[in-house]
Amino acid sequence: MSQLQEELVVLRERLALHDSDRQATTIQLQNQVEHLKEKLLSQAQEVSRLRSELGGTDAEKHRDRLMVENEQLKQELRRCEVELQELRAQPVVPCEGCEHSQESTQLRDKLSQLQLEVAENKGMLSELNLEVQQKTDRLAEVELRLKDCLAEKAQEEERLSRRLRDSHETIASLRAQSPQVKYVIKTVEVESSKTKQALSESQTRNQHLQEQVAMQRQVLKEMEQQLQNSHQLTVQLRAQIAMYEAELERAHGQMLEEMQSLEEDKNRAIEEAFARAQVEMKAVHENLAGVRTNLLTLQPALRTLTNDYNGLKRQVRGFPLLLQEALRSVKAEIGQAIEEVNSNNQELLRKYRRELQLRKKCHNELVRLKGNIRVIARVRPVTKEDGDGPEATNAVTFDPDDDSIIHLLHKGKPVSFELDKVFSPWASQQDVFQEVQALITSCIDGFNVCIFAYGQTGAGKTYTMEGTPENPGINQRALQLLFSEVQEKASDWQYTITVSAAEIYNEVLRDLLGKEPQEKLEIRLCPDGSGQLYVPGLTEFQVQSVDDINKVFEFGYNNRTTEFTNLNEHSSRSHALLIVTVRGVDCSTGLRTTGKLNLVDLAGSERVGKSGAEGNRLREAQHINRSLSALGDVIAALRSRQGHVPFRNSKLTYLLQDSLSGDSKTLMVVQVSPVEKNTSETLYSLKFAERVRSVELGPGSRRTELGSWSSQEHLEWEPACQTPQPTARAHSAPGSGTNSRPGSIRRKLQPSGKLRPVPV
Ligand SMILES: Nc1ncnc2c1ncn2[C@@H]1O[C@H](COP(=O)(O)OP(=O)(O)OP(=O)(O)O)[C@@H](O)[C@H]1O
C-alpha cells in the first residue's frame, strides 16, 4: 500500500511536472501564435503599404491627369478645327493680278500641310491614349491579383486562429479530463508540430508573395517609366500643337489682313468704277441728247431709205427666178455646144480612123507594090584594109539612070544585076535608112518585119545594121524612129517597146542579154494553141529611150566579149538578131496590136569550103551555108506562095517563122565589096540576091526557079556564077577590072562585135 502510495506520489509529481511542461508549451504555442498574428498583421500592413507604394492610385491619378490633358487637347483641336472651318467658309474674293493671291495660295498650302500634321498628331495621341488604357488595364489586373493574395492570407489567418482556438479548447478539455492528459499532450505535441509545419509553409508562401510583390514593384517601376516617357511625348506634342496653333494663328492673321486689304481694294475699285460710270453716264446722256436731235433730222432720210430698201427687197426676191431662168438657158446653150463638139469629135474620130485605115491600106499597097520581100544592094567604099595594087581596084559600077542596076566586072567579064535598089559607096546611112523607114513604121501598125544584112565578111553588114558611134546604122535609127512615132501617137495609143538579142552559131541559139549566155535555147510552140513560136528563157528588156537601148547593147556586148576571145572572127561566123517587139493599145477602142521588128546581121556568106577549110572552120562554114540556103528556100517558098514553107530547116528561119510568113515584110540588104579581089564573092552574093528577088518577078518561071537552094549551092555554085541564070538581067558593065579572087577572110578593123552600143 505504501508502495502504491509512493507510486501515486511519483505519478502526481510527474503529472505536476507534466502540467508545468504543458503550461510552458502552451505558453510557447501562444507566443508563437501571437508572433504569427503580429507577423500577419505586419504583412497586411506591408501589403497595404505596398499597395499604396505601388502607386496603383498614383498611376490612376497619372492616367486621369493624362486623360484630362487629352481631353483638353481634344477640345483645343476641336476649337482649331472650328476656326479653320470658319476661315474656309469665309468667301475668298479672287483678285486677278493681285500680288497677295500667290501669297494666299502659299498660306493655304501651308495651312493644309499644318492640318495634315495635326491629323498625324491626333493619330499619335490616340495611340498614346490606347497605351495608357492598356497600362491602366494591367494595373487593375495587378490590383485584382493583390486582392486575391490578401483574401488568401486572411483565409489562412482565419484557419490558423481557428486551429489555435481548437487547441485551447483541447487543452482546457485535457485539463478537465486528467486521465486522458497524456494522450492529449501527445496529440497537442503532434498538432504543435503540424502547426509548426503550417507556419513554415505560410512563411514560405509569405516569402513567395514578397517576391511577387518585388516583381510587381519592378513592373510598376517600368510602367512608371513608360508613363513618364509618354508624358514627355505628350509634352512635346503639345509644344508642337502650340507651335502649329501659333502658325495657324499667324496664317489666319495674314489672311485676315489680306482679306482686309482686298476688301479695301475692292471698295476702292468700286468707288472708282462708280465715278467713271457716272462720268460716262453723263457723256452718254449728252450723246443721247445729240442722237435724239440727229434722229429727228434723220427720220425723213430713213423713210426714203426704207422705201428704197423695200424696193430692192422686192427685186432681190425676184432675182433667183431670173437667175434660174438665165442659168437654164445658159445650160441649154452649153449642152447644145457640147453636143455639137461631141458630134464634131465623133466625126473627126471617124475621119481620123478612116484616114488611119486608108494610110495603112496605102502603106500596105505601097509595100505590096514594092513587094513583100524586097532586096536592095549596098556597095561599101574601098577601104585601107583592101590594100593597094590591082587586087584593090574597083570592080563595081552603077547605072546613072537606074538606081536598081549594078554592074560587076568579074574576071574581065561585065555582069549586071537588077535589084529593088542599089546604094553606091557614097550613099549615107540616112539614105539607106530612108529606104527601110516605111517597114519600121508598119511595125507600129502591127506588122512583122525582117531586115537582113547579107554578104561576105567585111562587105559592110555590121556597118549597115549598127554603124559607128558617129554614124549609126539601121538598128539605132529604127529604134529612134519607133520612139518618136510612138510618142507622136501617145495621145491615142499606148505602146510598149521591148528588145531581145540572140545569136545563132553552129545552129545553136543563145541569149545575148541573158545571165547565162552559154545556155542553149530552144524554139517552142506556144502552149496557148495559137501556133505562135516562142523561145523559153529568152531575155526581153522593156526600153523607153535610146539610152535604155545603149545599156542593153552594152550588156549584150559585154556578154559576148567575156565569152569569145576573138569576137570579130566569131561575129563573122554567127547570125546576130535584134528582136524589137512593139505592143500597142488604142486608148479609145481598146484595140491591141503587136508588131515585131527583126534586125538580122547574118554570118559572112563566103564559100569557105571551096578554099579547102577543114575542122572547126569547115563545120562553121557548113552551118552558115546551110542556114543561108534555108533562108533562101524559105523566102523562095514564100514568094511562090507554096503550101509548105521549110521554116524548120534552120534555127534562123524557124526562129523568124512568124516574121517571115503571112503579111510580114522582109527586106534583104546585100552588102557588096567593090574591090577586084572580092568579085567572086560579090558575084555570088548578087546572084543570090537576084534569085531571091526574081522569084516574085517572074511568076511563070517561079516553079523552075525554085529548084534547089541547098546548102551545097553555097559551096558548089562557082559554075552557075560563070553562067548567069536566065531570069537575072545581065547588063554589060562599063569599064573592066582584074580577074584576081579575094584572098583570105579579113578581120574587122572595128574594135567591137555586132552588138556594140552605138550612142545616138
Ligand atoms: N558604107 C560604108 N562606108 C564606110 N565604111 C564602110 C561601109 N561599109 C563598110 N565599111 C567599113 O568596112 C569594114 C568592114 O565592114 P563590116 O565590119 O561592117 O563588115 P561585115 O560584113 O559586118 O563583116 P563581118 O561579116 O566580119 O561581120 C569596116 O571597117 C567598116 O567600117
Radius of gyration of the chain (CA): 72
> Ligand 1, from 504, 601, 748, 749: best to mutate by most atoms within 8 Å of Cβ?
748
The string of pLDDT tens digits covering residues 577-614 is 999 999 999 888 888 889 999 999 999 887 765 555 66
Q: What is the pLDDT of residue 715?
A: 32
Is 615 labeled as ligand-binding? no
Is 462 labeled as ligand-binding? yes
Is 304 labeled as ligand-binding? no
The string of pLDDT tens digits covering residues 103-155 is 767 777 877 887 888 788 788 888 888 887 888 888 888 788 888 888 888 88
Instruction: Spell 402-424 as b/e; 16+ CB within 10 A means b.
Output: ebbbbbbbbbebbbbbbbbbbbb
Tell me, in angstroms, the distance from the centre of ligand 1 to residue 642's CA. 36
> Ligand 1, from 463, 566, 745: best to mutate by most atoms within 8 Å of Cβ?
463
Tell me, in angstroms, the distance from the centre of ligand 1 to residue 463's CA. 5
Total Cβ atoms within 10 A of residue 248: 20
Is 384 labeled as ligand-binding? no
- The C-alpha atoms of residue 592 and residue 494 are separated, in whole angstroms, by 9
- The C-alpha atoms of residue 106 and residue 436 are separated, in whole angstroms, by 100
Do 661 and 638 contact (CB within 8 A), yes or no? yes
- Give, using CA atoms, the residue closest to atom 11 of ligand 1: 460
Q: What is the pLDDT of residue 406?
A: 95
Cell numbers for 186: 501527445
- Give, using CA atoms, the residue closest to atom 2 of ligand 1: 380
- The C-alpha atoms of residue 222 and residue 195 are separated, in whole angstroms, by 40
Is 151 labeled as ligand-binding? no
Tell me, in angstroms, the distance from the centre of ligand 1 to residue 580's CA. 23
Residue from 603, 599, 598, 709 nearest 658 by CA: 598
Backbone angles phi, psi at 496, to 5 degrees: -125, 135
pTM: 0.51
In the chain, what is the straight-line distance between the N-terminal and C-terminal CA atoms, in Å?
192
Give the ligand 1 atom nearest the CA of 425. 1
Q: What is the pLDDT of residue 174?
A: 66
Q: What is the pLDDT of residue 719?
A: 26
> Ligand 1, from 378, 383, 620, 749: best to mutate by most atoms within 8 Å of Cβ?
383
Tell me, in angstroms, the distance from the centre of ligand 1 to residue 400's CA. 24
Give the ligand 1 atom nearest the CA of 671. 21
Q: Which residues of the chain have pLDDT under 70?
A: 1-5, 7-12, 14-23, 25-26, 29-30, 32-33, 36-37, 39-40, 43-44, 46-63, 80, 84, 87-88, 90-101, 104, 174-175, 177-189, 191, 360, 363-371, 560-571, 608-614, 694-760
Is 595 labeled as ligand-binding? no
Residue from 422, 431, 408, 434 nearest 378 by CA: 422
Q: What is the pLDDT of residue 538?
A: 92
Ligand 1 lining (C-beta closer than 6 Å): 380-381, 383, 455, 457-463, 571-572, 604, 671, 748-750
